[in-house]
Chain A
Amino acid sequence: MSVIAADGVTVRYGKKTAVDGVTLSVAPGSVYALLGRNGAGKSSLVRALLGMLQPARGRVTLFGEDVWQHRARLMDRIGVVSEEADAPPDARVRDLAWLSARMYSRWTQGAFDGRIDRFGISRNARYGDLSKGQKKQVALALALATSPELLVLDDPTLGLDVVARKSLFEEVIADMAERGLTVLITTHDLSAIETLADRIGVIKDGKLVLDDELEALKLRFRRVRYAGAPAALAMTAASSRAWGSGTEAIVTDYDDVAFERFRRETETSESTPMTLEEIFISVAGEEQR
């Protein structure tokens, strides 16, 4: 059974459609990375998946139960690190732990203390005095200490330096391995999830335009360059453009045999694998400057 199952979820704000008929499912123990440019509908979708807003159409179930109806009960099984992790600046780290211990039935103080020590944060530190990275680390330690079955990371590395990102992901990897944690992550840090995600979803203008296993994506997306004008490739080209005097095409169903045949017919042709970032750009469009 899926940990998260969204079926035709549509979110509207007045006349504006923020999420448009999204269907996806996240398998137990897997890492699902939801990608999209700013304003694509990522945050609205995450809010709908967590039962924080009611979809205009469609339905979300978490662990098989309707999230909108059973939100309070389900939240006990979910840890969330949101984009703007926030707490009162005067609260001390240990006070936040004290509060969480009272809110979650499966709180484990030892797990919290261990992580906070590994992150090198004092339990007496005022929240307001912590750096951005440390705030995120505290939020992660709080979320993981509730022994969640599902961890939702909403842009967890935004504004963090390389070292802080690394330690954050290491904690997540360790927990995944130990407890078979299921993770839903939204991020702009594509290189970090390149080794971590099992499945990738790309949302664009509210629609889920891509939803596939990462390994499959990396096999089927290729950049193919060849001499001459655009020609029949026997593969689906998502886009093609002039490249020097030849053509560069992004194909979405690369296949060695078809390419080999094509290569024999054209003068020069080459195919190169694409990074997740390049795949993302080819699907979601170039960053506007």
Chain B
Amino acid sequence: MFDIHPTDASPIWKQIEEGMRRMISLGILEPGAGVPSVRELAQSLRVNPNTVARAYQRLTDEGVLAVRRGEGTFVAEAPKQLRKSEKNEALRDAATRYAGTALAVGATIDDARGELELSYERLVREHRRKA
């Protein structure tokens, strides 16, 4: 589905949460589509099931996933998108870190922009390929 990076500073449950959101915003997981069970995803990512359960719980609370008793977990019919302010805040946080790295290695703004575009496209491609 997506990769997780155990050594990343971002907690694993958050990486799973973000991975799920990416799949949904890319349209790979459509509203109403079934998602792997906690057990399946824990095994395929080789992470603790508690960690997956935590990510699923948050996504359920946020209205992105819906649990149908006895049937499993699904993408909500109208998955809640992040509010604009939340989206901006998340982008600004990540951009600050990225800009810091770019400055540290002496990259120009054009280099930095170029790498960002390449990474964005690569992620989209990778998700499509894995889907």
B-facing mask of A155-184, CB < 8 A → 1, else 0? Answer: 000000000001001100110111000000
When each residue 37-76 of chain B gets 1 if its CB lies under 8 Å from chain A and 0 otherwise, what string results?
0110011011111110000000000000000000000000
The reply to whether A177 and B39 contact each other, CB–CB distance below 8 Å, is yes
Given contacts A177-B39, A177-B42, contact A215 B11 (CB under 8 A): yes
Give the 4 A-B residue pairs with the shortest CB-CB distance, closest first: A273-B9, A177-B39, A177-B49, A194-B6
Find the B residue at minimum CB distance from A180.
B49
User: What is the interface residue range for chain A against chain B?
Assistant: 20 to 34
Q: Which residues of B contact A215 (CB under 8 A)?
A: 11-13
Q: Chain A residues with Cβ under 8 A from B100's Cβ?
A: 270
**Nearest opposing residue in chain A for B6, CB measure:** A194
B9 touches A219 (CB 8 A): yes
Contacts of A195 in B (CB 8 A): 4, 6, 12, 45-48, 51
Known interface pairs A173-B42, A174-B43, A195-B45; A29-B13 also in contact (CB < 8 Å)? no
Q: CB within 8 Å of B: which residues of A?
A: 29-31, 166, 169-170, 173-174, 176-178, 191, 194-198, 215, 218-219, 270, 273, 275
Residues of chain A contacted by B108 (CB below 8 angstroms): none
Q: Does B48 lie within 8 Å of A197, measured CB to CB?
A: yes
**If the complex has contacts A195-B51, A273-B7, are A177 and B43 also in contact, measured as CB distance less than 8 A?**
yes
Q: Which residues of B contact A178 (CB under 8 A)?
A: 39
Instruction: Tell me if A270 and B104 are in contact (CB < 8 A).
Output: yes
Task: Contacts A173-B48, A195-B45, A198-B48 given; indicate if A218 touches B104 (C-beta within 8 A).
Answer: no
B111 interface contact, C-beta 8 A: no
Give the one of B8, B9, B43 with max A CB within 10 A.
B9
List the B residue with the shortest CB-CB distance to A278: B7
- Could you list 16 further interchain pairs (A-B, Cβ under 8 angstroms) beyond the known A275-B6, A275-B7? A31-B50, A173-B47, A173-B48, A176-B50, A177-B38, A194-B7, A195-B4, A195-B12, A195-B45, A195-B47, A196-B47, A198-B51, A215-B13, A219-B9, A270-B104, A273-B7
